[in-house]
Amino acid sequence: MNRTSGAILVLSGPSGAGKSSLINQIKDHIGPIYFSISTTTRPIREGEVDGVHYHFVDIAEFKQDIEQEMFLEYAVVHGNYYGTSLGPVKKALKEGKLVIFDIDVQGHDAVQNRLSDITTSVFITTPSLEELKRRLHNRSTDSEEVISGRIEMAKREVQRISEYDFLVVNDNLDEAAEILVSIAKAARMKIPTLQINEFVQTWEIS
């Protein structure tokens, strides 16, 4: 049985729950990974790197990819297209990598619809709404309006925790990171249905 096929790890949770810090802390301890980045038609900004922050493409290319069903999901925000391209994901899976998605509950839906057999999903949150508010105010990068938006979004997203395989309450960063490392390693043991079927067949004919 070919055990080199990749798998998918979906991480969701409110902005401010510490997803980015957690990903940074675990990324060198969980084997070969591919961090999925979005494709967009939005103009590249100063300091951004194509293929690092986003895959930057023009509208014609994006629309062609839509027609060819090359997106797991896409949306139009302020006239710009944003989407998750299947191409790089499939390539990384073939290379046996763990593909990590930092996406919201809608994105999680899209991944589960297409790739549920190899997907493990984790909802990451603060211990309480109060703690989330405190962290969002403390990092002071966002305006009050943006913070309010994030909090309303968080309240809605938390309602859907039960759709996820695991819940990680990020109370202590080191502890949460250790748990997430375990989940990421376990996630690689999700084998595609197709491969399971092939494996099972070799047991039938013997």
Check residue 189 for interaction with a second copy (CB under 8 A): yes
Among 167, 172, 173, 198, binds a second copy (CB under 8 A): 167
Residue with smaller CB distance to a second copy, 21 or 193? 193
Q: How far is residue 166's CA from residue 187's CA, in Å, rounded to a whole number?
A: 11
Stretch of 35-43, 54-62, 134-142, 180-188 contacting a second copy, by CB under 8 A: 180-188
Q: How far is residue 206's CA from residue 204's CA, in Å, rounded to a whole number?
A: 6
CA angle 10, 12, 43 (to 5 degrees): 90
Stretch of 43-51, 101-109, 138-146, 194-202 contacting a second copy, by CB under 8 A: 194-202
Check residue 134 for interaction with a second copy (CB under 8 A): no
With CA atoms as reference, report the closest residue to 123 among 23, 17, 199, 31: 17
Q: Minimum distance between the CB of residue 95 and a second copy, rounded to whole angstroms?
A: 20
Tokens 């405190």 -> residue: 134
Check residue 169 for interaction with a second copy (CB under 8 A): yes
With CA atoms as reference, report the closest residue to 86 among 55, 127, 124, 120: 55
17 is in an annotated binding site: yes
Check residue 183 for interaction with a second copy (CB under 8 A): yes
Check residue 27 for interaction with a second copy (CB under 8 A): no
Tell me how far CA of residue 90 lies from CA of 5, 51, 71, 99, 151, in angstroms. 10, 16, 11, 9, 34
Check residue 206 for interaction with a second copy (CB under 8 A): yes
Check residue 105 for interaction with a second copy (CB under 8 A): no
DSSP 14: -
With CA atoms as reference, report the closest residue to 184 among 28, 53, 52, 38: 28
Q: Minimum distance between the CB of residue 77 and a second copy, rounded to whole angstroms?
A: 25
Q: Which residues bind a second copy (CB under 8 A)?
A: 1, 3, 122, 127-130, 154-155, 158-159, 161-162, 165-169, 178-179, 181-183, 185-186, 188-191, 193, 196, 199-200, 202-204, 206
Point out the annotated binding site for ATP.
Answer: 13-20
